[in-house]
Amino acid sequence: MNLGQWIGLIAIVLSLYILWQIRQVLLLIFAAVVLASTLNRLAKRIQRYGLKRGLAVVISVAIFFAGIVGFFWLIVPPFVQQFQELTYRVPQGFDRLNAWIQQLETLIPDQLIPYIPNLNNLIAQAQPFLNQILGNSFAFVSGSLEVLLKILLVLVLTGMFLADPQAYRRLFIRLFPSFYRSRINGILDQCELSLKGWIAGAFIAMSVVGISSIIGLSLLGVKAALALGILAGFLNLVPNLGPTLSVIPAMAIALLDNPWKPLLVLILYLVIQQIDANLVTPTVMAHRVSLLPAVTLVSQLFFVTFFGFLGLFLALPLTVVVKIWLQEVLIKDVLDEWGHSPHNETELVIISPSSMSDIDWQTEIPDEDQETKIDDVLPRQE
């Protein structure tokens, strides 16, 4: 390797190290891109009714915030009421269980009494653990403030991306060599289409799980069925872990009515999740995004390990985008061309797929010694 190659290798290693150090910031930027893409799609649909883009963007943002407010308005009050009642019922249940055990002590032989648990002793043993939880309350509040700041950053970035998406797109494409910018622009189009497909498929799966949960919980007579169903639909965005988290509050609230109801709730959620995992999600995602189940599971383990809970929440859209970049750049442009004779860049033509109905352009890649005009490469803004 000559000096130039060593310098290039060192620059690549330093770039990867810097990207790794700021991975949490990059993940927040990606979350803002996904949210901006969703709102941009909604704004484009609103524009079909003859409204200007600025007004359509304002309406889409208003719908988004109205959805957030409605979500918390439907979820928080019922949960607060039910869990306040749960805090009263659980100690009462422990007292009844302890009284029942004391009654049994009069009916069993004296040799077995030492083996009967005493709940008062168990509560006394758990007291240090409760004190430790209360002592960590400040850390919990600090973590909550950090989460709120991250959410605020994502919302601000989303607004900036949504105001002028083409400007940020041009800025990103300029980071690549001039002869490769047309190719990058086509890859970004594929990423946008795939993200749209994932958003549509996720919304359909959320609706099916949420509506099914509301109907099932209502038939079982569980309180706050509407709030629990909405929560189950929302947590369905997090594959594998989300359904497990959603069943916990439902079983806890069902415990207020009868001791056997939590078991029925668990069976109900298992049936709904089996239908969603084996019928709804594969059918919907097969038409929207082609991802193998094993790839989805491995990606979740990878992103939750290196990025935390936010990485788990964004595992599927991240996998969709990473798959496109690996397939187009690494496989098609590098591995498939390895050892072949180089193509003449002046003969390459990037043609948009027929499925891109909103893009009616094609671009010829210019010669390497000719400067690329990025505005001529990019599609026109609607």
Question: Could you tell me if 297 and 14 are in contact, meaning their C-beta atoms sit under 8 angstroms apart?
Answer: no
Across the chain, which distance is largest between two alpha carbons, in Å?
A: 97
Looking at the domain assignment, is residue 360 inside a domain? yes
Q: Can you tell me the distance from the alpha carbon of 208 to that of 210, in angstroms, rounded to the nearest whole number?
A: 6
Looking at the domain assignment, is residue 129 inside a domain? no
Domains held by the chain: number: 1
Closest CA to 246 of 263, 264, 233: 233
pLDDT confidence tier of residue 115, bands split at 50, 70 and 90:
low
Looking at the domain assignment, is residue 155 inside a domain? yes
Looking at the domain assignment, is residue 147 inside a domain? yes
Q: Can you tell me the distance from the alpha carbon of 295 to that of 47, in angstroms, rounded to the nearest whole number?
A: 37
Q: Can you tell me the distance from the alpha carbon of 351 to that of 362, in angstroms, rounded to the nearest whole number?
A: 5
For 291: left if phi > 0, alpha if psi spans -120 to 50, otherwise beta; the answer is: beta
Looking at the domain assignment, is residue 165 inside a domain? yes
Looking at the domain assignment, is residue 251 inside a domain? yes
Q: Can you tell me the distance from the alpha carbon of 382 to that of 371, in angstroms, rounded to the nearest whole number?
A: 26
Q: Can you tell me the distance from the alpha carbon of 367 to that of 180, in angstroms, rounded to the nearest whole number?
A: 10
Using one digit for the tens of pLDDT, what is the confidence trace for 127-160?
Answer: 455 455 444 444 444 455 677 788 888 888 998 8
Per the structure, the complete domain to which residue 212 belongs is given by 8-117+136-338+346-377
Looking at the domain assignment, is residue 167 inside a domain? yes
Question: Could you tell me if 304 and 311 are in contact, meaning their C-beta atoms sit under 8 angstroms apart?
Answer: yes
Residue 51 has what pLDDT? 87
Looking at the domain assignment, is residue 382 inside a domain? no
Using one digit for the tens of pLDDT, what is the confidence trace for 185-225?
Answer: 999 999 888 888 888 888 888 888 999 999 999 999 888 88
- Lowest-confidence segment of 169-178, 237-246, 343-352 by average pLDDT: 343-352
Q: Can you tell me the distance from the alpha carbon of 213 to that of 231, in angstroms, rounded to the nearest whole number?
A: 9
Residue 355 has what pLDDT? 41
User: Mapped to the 3 state alphabet, what secondary structure does 207-227 carry?
Assistant: HHHHHHHHHHHHHHCCCCHHH
